Amino acid sequence: MHTPLPNTDLQTTYYALAAVVLPFVAFLINFMVSSKSSKMSGWISTGAVLMSAVLAAMVFARIWNMQQIHGQQLWFSIGETPVYAGVWLNNLSVLMLLLVTVVAVPVHIYSTAYIKTHENNRYFTYLSLFCFSMLALVVVDSMVLLYAFWELVGFSSYLLIGFWFTRDSAVQANKKAFIMNRIGDIGLLTAIIILFAQYHTFDLVQLFGEKGLLYTSTIKDGLWLPSSSIVPPHNGWVIYGSEGISSVWQYVAFTGIVLAVAAKSAQFPLHTWLPDAMEGPTSVSALIHAATMVAAGVFLLGRVYPMFNTTELDILAVIGCFTAFMAATIALTQNDLKRILAYSTISQLGYMIMAMGINAYSSSLFHLATHAFFKCLLFLCAGVIIHEMQHIKEENELDIDPQNILYMGGLRKKLPVTFVACVVGCLALVGFPLTSGYLSKDGILIQSFEWADGRSAMFRLVPYGIMLTSCLTAFYVARLIFKVFFGEFRLKEILPNVHLHVSDGGWQYTLPLLFLSLCSLFPLFSINPVAYEHAWLYQGFAPSNYLARESAYHMLVPIGINIASVFVAYWAYAVYIQERKLVFPQTSFWFRLSYHQWYIDIFYRNVIANAVVQLGKALFWVDRSVVDGLIELLTKITEMLAALSAWTDRYIVDGTLHLIAATTSAIGNFFRGFQSGKIQYYLFSMLAVILAVFIIKLLI
Amino acid sequence: MITLTHYLIVSAGLFCIGLYVILAKQNAVQILIGIELMLNAAILNLVAFSKFDKLNNSGQTFALFTIVLAAASTAVALAIVLNVYRRYRTIDPGKVNQLKD
Amino acid sequence: MNILTLLIFTPALFGLIILALPSSFRASFKYITLLATLLQVGMSAFMYLNFKTGAAFGGINQESQYQFVHKLPWISLNLGTVGKMQIDYFVGADGMSIMLLVMSAIVMVIATLASWEIKSNLKGYFVLFLLLDMAVMGVFSALDFFLFYLFYELMLLPLYFLIGMWGGVRREYAAIKFFLYTLFGSVFMLLVMVGLYLSVTDPATGNHTFNIVQMMNPANFQKYSVFGLAVPQTIFGISARVVGFVVLFVAFAIKVPVVPLHTWLPDAHVEAPTPVSIILAGVLLKIGGYGIIRICMGIFPEVAASCAFWLGLLGVVSILYGALNALAQRDLKRLIAYSSVSHMGFVLLGVASQTAEGVSGAMMQMISHGFLSSMLFFLVGVIYNRVHDRDIYNFRGLATLMPEYATYVMIAFFASLGLPGFSAFVAEAFSLAGAFKSTLIPHWMAVCGSVGILLSAAYFLWTLQRMFFGKELLKGGEIWRTALTKLDVREKAALLPLALLALILGIMPSLALDKINDSVLAFVQFLQHK
């Protein structure tokens, strides 16, 4: 199993490992030794992640479109099964490796300024742990390790969401995030176990690599048959399920994967944790809940893609499309700046999942990469805005929510750099030409139409739904921009003498914004700004016939969607700047549905969570009264038996004895009565006896 | 003609009177008298039955013995009665019942 | 002198020393006990390092493959026509017991460190403690059923007094409940033991024997004996071997504890002092699991196969039922007690699967739970000793007040809920993998078992959120604030090794699995052959 790698490959592997381990080293240093009250930890972590990025770039240059490396080492054996630990570097993993480190660098720099000094150490300890887990997640080759880092990523996200742990809302949110992710985790675990039981290996390469086991297994007559090439364990006495198991379990494994993806990538029905996760520091939201961790679900789909059959892919497409649409409708009415972005993230992740479902594998990953940049950018912009609003709030001692966009407005003059960066990010999000978003998103839209061609009318809902979602995206993005940056500063309208000392901040703020803005434009991905097929990233994953542009969709869809977007954006302008009433009134059902996030969260909290808690309470009652009650009953019965036998002992066994004694005593007492002490009485008695004797004698 | 039967009837009557006196009277002296009566009844019988032993007159002899004994025992009994009286200030035997438990 | 014998009787020796010392030395008793337990750790570490692995050291049903064996004739009575009564002092270790011995030795040190809280009647306490220590080690290494039973019963006595005399408010109720529960199981075990004795003959001497290893060989059963395989006997119309299995299983299931028989556990834990809770959860529960593997399934393998469904079902029920009950608790100690029920369910599920993965996972879970539950109970003890309250609702925001303590609690909680990187993850994942892979139990059991992992996250995170995060708010106000001091050196010395052990076993499970593996394989092979 373990084959020695050639020297150059070994070197590459070491680079990749170093890129993964460096943040961990930073984590250890910060955890163990760093002082609690300096900015030192921040620079340690930043330095580590910067070096990781350089190493990742080197690894990327050696792997991308050239080869794949799979190196592994025995980790432990359990029973007959050896469990290996190793790395699998292919296009997908090196892309993720590079992407995560490149996005992490600006976020780290930004954070050094964003996080207060006394919280610095703790923050960067967690952040480095996250970077380590995320980087390890993308390179590992074994399902056990994949699961381990999958969950560690969730754990570090838990720590970071609850970073301000004295805030109740933050700790509620991190608990929710972890539990939601746990649902996904057990899905993944179930899937892993099923695959292990079926194929007897945890090795991702053996399972999903080229000519992997998944390609050779079939479902026949309701039985899921593993490939015939499986060699039974060498001594031949353990042959489990080699004849195949019911095909239901293939679907269970799929469901497990879907749950995992839905939890991590915040898809319906497990998406509700992500908006709440915005309780964490904004820089965390930028890195974890926009760019990297939430993309892990898509990454997982990319890794295990070969195991899905057509039905399952269709389900994925529907889930993705529905989530994208639902999240977009919710984003329309939210007032919390970060919540809007969170729902927009959910929506965009829906695109990626849907893209996986419609066989647009490469577009999905392409969108993942572009989205990581522009969404991270948007969050960092939001961070600047919130930071400044917080500043205003503290300076003027106001009681406002610094994240509420209703208090903002007209900030484009105060925060010019942020404004420009934010507009770039928003345009990329909407998918305007010349941005990276255009390239990746239009690819998905076009392919969704091609996919729906030749299928039943039901499937046509998917491309049209996603088109509609694009228009909604344009609307909420425009709303965000107009509310925050245009018009007048609304707080000033309410409180005329409020002090405003706001600026873009130092280079730690502006540099990451500029860097990410540049990354959100087309040149990073493609020389041709309008044809997604020419993007190098797309080509890295596409099948060989990617150049075919036979359908008319390639022309119609981008033009149509852009015209629609412009129109919608203008509509938003009309609504919010010119203040014309062209939307649903705020009392309508549709508005409330959107504002309350489709009542899903309320449903979960009131129905499901409540049900589980009540079930727990009921079972505790059962435990106390029924299970323990039975024991008590047993005790009672024993006690009663004991009482009964005590009674028997006292009244029957002992009673007999007492009766004898009492009889004797009664007889004695009877005769004692004759002892009156009167002589005459004795005489009389004597006489009576004598008489009696005589009478008896006479009678006999 | 006075036969043996007449003696015996008288004797039985005497005995019964004596018995009655012993059982019924509440005076120790009267009881002593009753005892004397019963003794006399016995003596009468002895004398009456002595007709079957004319040679030795053993009946009469026993009667004499009995009279002497009766006198002696009466003397003793009277002494006891006297002592009882000193101690209990009564000679009613019903009231002297310390022997009972 | 045999090292295993030394390991068993060292505590007894030190117990005698304490007994001999006058009470004026009472301050030194805890140090003497600590020395005894540390010596045990040293000995068990020596055994661990010298434990030979490989297929030739599988143990299980091969007497020659056991290590550190010490066998002395003990009771040998000539009973005339009935034959010769043969009871040996026979101890030895294989992969199944070696890790449990190491784990118990370490947990005993932790329990000793927790015993600093004991203030009254120190002599009695430490003598009983050491007696218990001896019995526990004896149970894990005895290979003669009579000896096993002796040690097994010997555990009860000190525990009864330790709970009943040094416990909480309702200690007498809890002690009696615990005692009767366990005794209920073990008296019937005695009957089966005698039955087995009368059924099995030692092929070498032709005498009846209590040797457990001999009992595993079907050829040693006499033809017309109660538990003989050749001519099936019945008791009340049920196959005698099934009855024997069920009786032994019930005895051990009470110890594990398996769900309908678990109600002694929360009461005993809540009332017991911290060190006794640590021993109860850390070591005693494992005796149940160990007994099921070594005795129930070892002696009645074919019944174990046919009852696998029920074993698995009980395991799954324990997992879910324990977790849901934990969710309803507000006493921290009771919550952890129920979480123990849930976690020990994985042991049963893994064992029921009778696959190498499942059994290894179960063994790993026992070791991991030994460390983690000790840590959890120790942590509860820390807070209870300071303010004499452990109601979850009475605390809030402890992380601000006691950051170090909160860190340890988080480590313990996350390790217990199966965060990868800690030992419980490997254990639970492989118990479930084994359960799914098994052909003896249905696949849905593994899936249901995994829901237990989700629920454990729910109750642990709820507790974290409720007690440790948020704004600081204590029921006892300022008095509690000053009482809740930082962890002292002793407490850190107990907690740090446990946290590290859980972490190291999670990252390098091979440290434990390498020692276990050969025995597990031998065991699974033995079960396959029946």
Spans in chain B with pLDDT lower than 70 = 99-101
- Does the structure show a pLDDT above 90 at A453? no
User: Is C433's CB within 8 Å of A237's CB?
Assistant: no
C76 strand-pairing partners: C86
Nearest CA in chain A to C178: A631
Which subunits count as partners of chain A given 3+ CB pairs below 8 Å?
B, C
State the Cα–Cα distance between residues A179 and A173, nearest whole angstrom. 10
To the nearest whole Å, the CA of A193 is away from the closest chain C CA by 5
pTM: 0.85
Q: How far apart are CA C217 and CA C499, in angstroms?
A: 41
The shortest CB-CB distance from C470 to any of A77, A166, A241 is to A166
Question: ω before C257 within 30° of 0 (cis)?
Answer: yes
The helix (H) or strand (E) run that includes residue C70 is strand C67-78
The two counts, helices (H) then strands (E), for chain C are 23, 4
Quote the DSSP letter at residue C68. Answer: E
**Distance between alpha carbon C49 and the CA centroid of its chain, in Å?**
22
Cβ-defined contact of A78 to C513 (cutoff 8 Å): yes
Residue A243 main-chain phi, psi, to 5 deg: -85, 5
A392 vs A505: CA distance, rounded Å? 14
CA-CA distance, B71 to B41, in Å (whole number)? 15
Please report how the helices C95-114 and C510-529 are oriented relative to each other, as an axis angle in degrees rounded to 10. Answer: 130
Put simply, the answer to whether B101 touches A672 (Cβ < 8 Å) is: yes
Q: Which residues of A touch C509 (CB under 8 A)?
A: 75-76, 78
Which of the residues A670, A672, A678 would you substitute to probe the B interface, choosing the one with the greatest number of B C-beta atoms within 10 Å? A678
Averaged pLDDT of chain A: 83
The size of the A-B interface in CB pairs under 8 A is 28
Q: Do A680 and B100 touch (CB under 8 A)?
A: no
Q: How far is C24 from chain A (nearest CA, A)?
A: 43
C288 touches C259 (CB < 8 A): no
Subunit contact C356:A238, Cβ cutoff 8 A: yes
Tokens 């008095």 belong to C479
d(CA C507, CA C516): 17
Q: What pLDDT is attached to residue C499? A: 92
Q: Which two tokens stand for residue C59?
A: 């143990």
Residue A331 contacts residue A323 (beta carbons within 8 Å): no
- Please tell me the predicted confidence (pLDDT) of residue A697: 93
Q: How far apart are CA C7 and CA C101, in angstroms?
A: 9
Residue A491 has pLDDT above 80, yes or no: no
pLDDT at A101 over 80: yes
Chains A and B touch (3+ CB pairs under 8 A): yes
Contact C324/A147, CB-based, under 8 Å? Answer: no
- Considering the domain boundaries, does residue B99 fall inside one? no
pLDDT band at residue A544 under the 50/70/90 scheme: low
Of C321, C457, C525, the CB nearest to A179: C457
- Is a pLDDT exceeding 80 seen at residue A232? no
Identify all chain A residues contacting B20, using CB atoms and an 8 Å cutoff.
none
Residues 6+ apart with CB under 8 A from A585: A591
* Paired tokens of C211: 């040797």
State what percent of residues in chain A have pLDDT above 70: 92
Helices A248-264 and A296-303, packing angle to 10 deg: 150
Which residue of B lies nearest to A676 if distances are taken between CA atoms? B100
End-to-end CA distance of chain C: 36
Nearest to A386 by CA among A595, A119, A114: A114
* Interchain CB distance below 8 Å, B23 and A680: yes
Residue B1 contacts A, CB cutoff 8 Å: no
Nearest CB neighbour to A80, from listed C328, C356, C430? C356
Q: What is the pLDDT of residue A236?
A: 41
* Residues in chain B closer than 8 A to A687 (CB atoms): 19, 23
pLDDT higher than 60, residue A228: no
How close is the nearest chain B Cα to the Cα of A671, in Å? 12
Structure confidence at residue A220 as a pLDDT band (50, 70, 90): low
Show me where the domains of chain C are located.
Answer: 1-296, 307-530
Phi, psi of C73 (to 5 degrees): -65, 135
pLDDT for C43: 92
Measure CA A663 to chain center. 87
| Residue A685: closest C-alpha in chain B | B23
What is the C-alpha to C-alpha distance for residues C67 and C95, in angstroms, rounded to an integer? Answer: 9
Q: Would B95 be classed as within a structural domain?
A: no
Whole-number pLDDT of residue A637: 92
State the sign of the Cα–Cα–Cα–Cα dihedral C197, C199, C200, C203. positive
pLDDT tens, position by position, A463-490: 888 888 888 888 888 888 888 888 777 7
Shortest Cα–Cα distance, B22 to chain A (Å): 7
Query: Is the confidence at residue A234, as pLDDT, over 50?
Result: no
Ordered alpha helix ranges (H), A140-247: 143-161, 168-199, 204-208, 213-216
- A229/C79 Cα distance (integer angstroms): 63
Residue from the list B23, B24, B98 with its beta carbon closest to the beta carbon of A677: B98
Return the percentage of chain B with pLDDT > 70, whole number: 97
A window 121-150, beta carbon within 8 A of C: 144, 147-149
Interface of A with B in 679-698 (CB under 8 A): 679-680, 683-684, 687
| CA nearest to C192, candidates C138, C235, C237 | C235
Decide if B63 touches A, using CB distance below 8 A: no
Q: Which two tokens stand for residue C485?
A: 């001091």
Test the B interface: residue of A670, A680, A682, A685 with most B CBs within 10 Å = A680
Q: Is residue B96 part of a domain?
A: no
Cross-chain Cβ contact B23/A684 below 8 Å: yes
Question: What residues have CB less than 8 Å from A430, skipping those under 6 apart?
Answer: A437, A470, A473, A474, A477, A565, A569
Which residue in chain A is spatially nearest to B20 when comparing CA positions? A684
- Using a 10 angstrom Cβ sphere, with 0-12 exposed, 13-18 middle and 19 or more buried, the burial of residue A673 is exposed
CA-based nearest distance C29→chain A, Å: 36
* Residue B93 domain flag: no
* Whether B97 contacts chain A with CB within 8 A: yes
Exposure pattern of A159-198 as b/e (b: 16+ CB <10 Å)? bbbbbebeeeebbbbbbbbbbbbbbbbbbbbbbbbbbbbb
A45 CB neighbour count, 10 Å cutoff? 32
CB contact under 8 A, B93 and A679: yes
Flag whether residue A155 sits within 8 Å of chain C, measured between CB atoms: yes
A684 contact residues in B (CB cutoff 8 A): 23
Q: In which order are the strands placed within the sheet that holds A245-246?
A: A218-220, A223-225, A245-246
Contact A330, A347 (CB under 8 A): no
Look at residue C103 in the predicted model and tell me its pLDDT. Answer: 93
Residue B80 lies inside a defined structural domain of this protein:
yes
Categorize the per-residue pLDDT at A238 as very low, low, confident or very high, splitting at 50, 70 and 90: very low
Q: Which of C445, C457, C426, C175 is nearest to C318 (CA)?
A: C445
Q: Which of C235, C238, C239, C250 is nearest to C292 (CA)?
A: C250
Q: ω into residue A4 within 30 of 0, thus cis?
A: no
Quote the tokens at residue A627: 């299970």
**What pLDDT does A549 receive?**
57
Q: Is C461 close to A175, i.e. CB distance below 8 A?
A: yes
b/e A398-408 (16+ beta carbons within 10 angstroms → b): bebbbbbbebb
- Residue with tokens 């928003």, as numbered in its chain: A426
Q: Are C485 and C410 in contact (CB under 8 A)?
A: no
pLDDT at A694 over 80: yes
Instruction: Give the span between the Cα atoms of C244 and C263, in whole angstroms.
Output: 24
Residues of A in contact with B23 (CB under 8 A): 680, 683-684, 687
- Test B22 with A683 for CB contact under 8 angstroms: yes
d(CA A304, CA A150): 14
What is the pLDDT at residue A551? 66
For residues C372 and C285, is the Cβ–Cβ distance under 8 A? Answer: no
**CB distance C259 to C321 below 8 Å:** yes
Three-state DSSP string of C3-62: HHHHHHHHHHHHHHHHHHCCHHHHHHHHHHHHHHHHHHHHHHHHHHHHCCCCHHHCCCCC
Does residue B18 fall inside a structural domain? Answer: yes
CA distance C268 to C159: 10
Query: In the structure encoding, which two tokens stand for residue B76, read together?
Result: 């003793």
- Best A623, A630, A631, A635 member to test C by mutation, with max C CBs in 10 Å, is A623
Distances (CA, A) of A144 to A184, A185, C421, C429: 15, 12, 11, 9
pLDDT band at A231 (very low <50, low <70, confident <90, very high): very low
Q: Taking CB atoms and an 8 Å limit, are B100 and A683 in contact across chains?
A: no
Percentages helix, strand, coil for chain C (3-state, rounded to 5) are 75, 5, 20
- How many independent structural domains does chain B possess? 1
Task: Give the minimum alpha-carbon distance from A648 to chain B in angstroms, rounded to a whole number.
Answer: 37
pLDDT at A284: 87
Give CA A17 to chain center in angstroms. Answer: 26
* Structure token pair of residue A433: 């030409």
CB of C292 closer than 8 Å to CB of C116: no
Please name every residue paired with A72 in a beta bridge, in sequence order, or none if there are none.
A86
Q: Which two tokens stand for residue C11?
A: 């505590």
Nearest chain A residue to B26 by CA distance is A680
Tell me the pLDDT of chain C (530 aa) as tens digits. Answer: 788 898 999 999 999 999 888 888 888 888 999 999 999 999 999 999 988 888 788 777 788 888 888 888 888 777 776 677 778 888 888 888 899 999 999 999 999 999 988 888 888 899 999 999 999 999 999 998 999 999 999 988 899 899 888 888 888 888 888 888 888 888 888 888 888 888 888 887 777 888 888 888 888 888 777 777 767 777 777 788 888 899 999 999 998 888 888 888 888 888 889 999 999 998 999 999 999 998 888 888 888 888 889 999 999 999 999 999 888 888 899 999 999 999 999 999 999 988 888 999 999 999 999 999 999 999 999 888 888 888 888 888 888 888 889 889 999 999 998 888 898 998 998 899 888 888 888 888 888 888 888 888 888 988 888 888 888 888 888 888 888 888 888 888 889 999 999 999 988 888 888 888 888 888 888 888 76
CB atoms within 10 A of CB C158: 24
Q: Is A676 on the interface with B (CB under 8 A)?
A: yes
Q: Residue for token digits 């489990």?
A: A240
CA distance C520 to C96: 7
Q: Reply yes or no on whether the pLDDT at A240 is more than 70.
A: no
C173 class by beta-carbon count within 10 Å (0-12 exposed, 13-18 middle, 19+ buried): middle
Residue-wise pLDDT for A631-646, tens only, equals 888 888 988 999 999 9
Q: Would you say residue A585 has pLDDT above 80? A: no
Q: What is the pLDDT at residue A548?
A: 56
Tokens representing A306 are 């070969």
- Alpha-carbon distance of A205 to A212, in angstroms, equals 7
Secondary structure of residue B90 in the 3-state scheme: coil
| Interface touch A194/C436, C-beta < 8 Å | yes
CA distances from A560 to A290, A389, A570 (A): 28, 38, 16
By Cβ distance, the residue of A677, A680, A687 closest to B100 is A677
Mean pLDDT of A351-367: 86
CA distance A696 to A686: 15
